[in-house]
Amino acid sequence: MRYPLAGLCFLMLPTWVNAASPDAAPDWVYTVRPGDTLIEIAQTYLNQPNNWRPLQRDNSIANPMAIPPGTQLRIPANLLKHSPSSAKLIALTGAVLFRQGAEGAWQAATVGQKLAVGDAVQTPPEGYAVLELANGSRINIQASALVVLDTLSLYAEGLMADTRLRLNTGRVEIVDNPQRQTNQHLRVITPTAQAVVRGTEFRVGVEGQTTREETLDGAIAFRAATKTVAVEQGFGSLSVNGQAPHPPVALLAAPDVSGLPKRVEQLPIRFPLPVMANAASMVGEVVAASQAEPVLLAKSSTSKTLNFADLPNGDYILRLSATDRLGLQGYTALHPFTVFARPFFPPVNQPQVDGVVRSPRPEFSWGQILDVTASHIQIATSADFKHPLFDAQIGANRWSPPADLPAGALFWRVASIDKIQGPWTPAIAFTYKPAPALVDITQAAMQITGDGLHYDLPKPEAGLHYLVSLSAVRSMDPLVMPAVESHSGKVVMSRFGVGDFYLSVRLVDDRDGTQGPAVVQKISVPITRPYLLP
């Protein structure tokens, strides 16, 4: 929307000289209605009804008793009936403070609190406040800002408002006079500039001796060092050290947020930022999806991501904009997203990502999370878990499947359960590689001679070898002699005595030493002569 010159917003340095002082209240413009007389107008709106004669003179009224309808009378504010107005804090984030008057002590602000002339509002580094004026104008006070209410005045039975805010530091974003009422005047004063506002949406920021202005809707006349530039909708400018304003430059467009995640299941929140030409940084604000104010979190980033430490489960909107190399902030894109991160999923212990298990019923284990009452585990052959092989809820942080796993590539995940189930861990890929098989000793030949035992087994498959142990007891503990390994299948043991013994044979994986099940057979060693066992 464009505004005529009379409705422009003027941003000017205090040293600029005008016919009327920048600190003076503006004139009230009254449109004459049928039947109005100057005397009746004076009686209704002036603080001194007899002051109708100066109005007649200054407005060139020929007949004070017969004024043509539609005539616009300009009435100085100092002649009007005057009453104080107030502002109200309607939203807060963080430890926002307020002060009553210049000498008052800083106190904690509260939502719904009314502020009077001379009061001030201060936001902390991660704070935010929304100030609403009587006409519905909203002043969004961003982090680390200090705003003083210099003037809150109503004139002519409330038909004209004159408001002056002093922005000492920080940034404000203003939606002025949303109902487009007439005779509504708002001025924002910074250490080096002044903004006279009539129905527009814009930002003002103070950083040291630099004042920046960005026009989002309407138009602004930006004046400094006796030079004025027109800053129209979609443009911004700045004044440094009170010097003439920079020529207006186009504000950066709203960033493309289509690639940002719509669901967040792990904290901290990390948004990958889109690449934009001429962008020096990105500014992000998070608000609740159900309520546009206040800003819950705000961050800027010059890196490839925008990170927020924490948010409760819920629906939110990210307001993202880009800042150019002059520090001018562009238009804002809205990105709705959902946080579902609690109760937090636990850290996994075993099996780890890309791990290999050799047992058909291995133990799965994970860390404990405070206040979590149970865990939910799933195992599947695909990472989407559409058809889980196992699905169990247990009150512990370790579990083994009740049946054998299938050999090959598998996935598992676990979630915490409190009052609700939280998000799953990312799918954890692992492989079940069965341990070596049971040895078939029917194909083996054994011979016991005076020198010892000779055992001929089939040659093992590549990557496997035999482990042969001998003990005098069925439990195989202790051993009669150290176990013997064989990659060829031929086993020789020296003479070990006479009587009954137990021989254990198993296959072992060369790569990781995983042992297969043992085959144990009883052998008898004669006293007088060698004995051949089939």
Q: What pLDDT is recorded for position 196?
A: 65
pLDDT of residue 13: 36
Q: Reduced to 3 states, what is the DSSP secondary structure of residue 53?
A: helix
pLDDT bin (cut points 50, 70, 90) of residue 528 is low
β pairing state of 184-189 and 160-175: parallel
d(CA 508, CA 438): 10
Same fold, 82-246 and 441-533: no
SS3 (DSSP) at 205: strand
- The residues, any chain, with a CB within 8 Å of residue 80's CB and separated by 6 or more, are 28, 45, 46, 47, 155, 156, 160
By the 8 A CB rule, do 451 and 470 touch? no
Q: What is the pLDDT of residue 531?
A: 47
Integer Cα distance of 217 and 232 in angstroms: 8
Assign 514 a pLDDT band (cuts: 50, 70, 90). Answer: very high
Cα 369 to chain centroid, rounded: 23
Q: Who contacts 9 (Cβ-Cβ below 8 Å, separation ≥6)?
A: 195, 196, 197, 198, 200, 202, 215, 218, 219, 220, 221
Is the pTM of the predicted complex or chain greater than 0.85? no
How buried is residue 82: exposed, middle or buried, by Cβ count under 10 Å (0-12/13-18/19+)?
middle
> What is the gyration radius of the CA atoms in the chain, in angstroms?
42
CATH superfamily, domain 348-432, is Immunoglobulins (2.60.40.10)
Q: Residue range 342-364: average pLDDT?
A: 95
Strand residues in 55-145 grouped as ranges (E): 72-75, 82-84, 87-93, 97-99, 107-108, 114-115, 120-122, 128-132, 138-141
Domain 441-533: assigned CATH number: 2.60.40.10
Q: Which residues contact 401 (CB under 8 A, 6 or more apart)?
A: 361, 362, 364, 379, 389, 390
Give the largest CA-CA distance in the chain: 152
pLDDT tens figures, 123-176? 999 999 999 999 899 999 999 999 999 999 888 888 888 899 999 999 999 998
Judge whether residue 517 has pLDDT over 70: yes
With vertex at residue 173, the alpha carbon angle to CA 182 and CA 99, rounded to the nearest 5 degrees, is 95
Percent of the residues in the chain that have a pLDDT greater than 90, as a whole number: 73
pLDDT for 180: 85
Residues 484-508: pLDDT tens digits? 999 999 999 988 888 899 999 999 9
Report, as an integer, the average pLDDT of 300-329.
Answer: 96
Task: Give the pLDDT confidence score for residue 525 in this predicted structure.
Answer: 86
CATH architecture observed for domain 269-339: Sandwich (2.60)
What's the chain's length in residues? 534
534: pLDDT strictly greater than 80: no
SS3 442: helix
Structure tokens at 127: 């704070």
Per-residue model confidence (pLDDT) at position 495: 84
pLDDT at 74: 92
Spatial separation of the C-alpha atoms in residues 292 and 91, rounded to whole Å: 10
Give residue limits of the domains in the chain.
82-246, 269-339, 348-432, 441-533
Q: What is the C-alpha separation between 43 and 216, in angstroms, rounded?
A: 41
* First-residue to last-residue Cα distance in the chain: 102
pLDDT in tens, 19-75: 344 456 788 899 999 999 999 999 999 999 988 999 999 999 999 999 999 999 999
Percent of the chain past pLDDT 70, that is, above it, reads 93
* Structure confidence by residue, pLDDT tens digits, 244-275: 899 999 999 999 999 999 999 999 999 999 99
Strand partners, 470: 503
Report how far apart, in Å, the C-alpha atoms of 377 and of each of 186, 321, 360, 365, 427 are: 61, 41, 17, 10, 11
Cα angle, residue 138 at apex, residues 336 and 179 outer, rounded to 5° = 100
Tokens standing for 498?
């006479």
| Helix, strand, or coil (residue 54) | helix
Please check the confidence at residue 308 and state whether its pLDDT lies above 90: yes
Tell me the average pLDDT of the chain: 90
- Distance, in Å, from the CA atom of 394 to the CA atom of 407, rounded to the nearest integer, reads 25
CATH level 2 (architecture), domain 82-246: Sandwich (2.60)
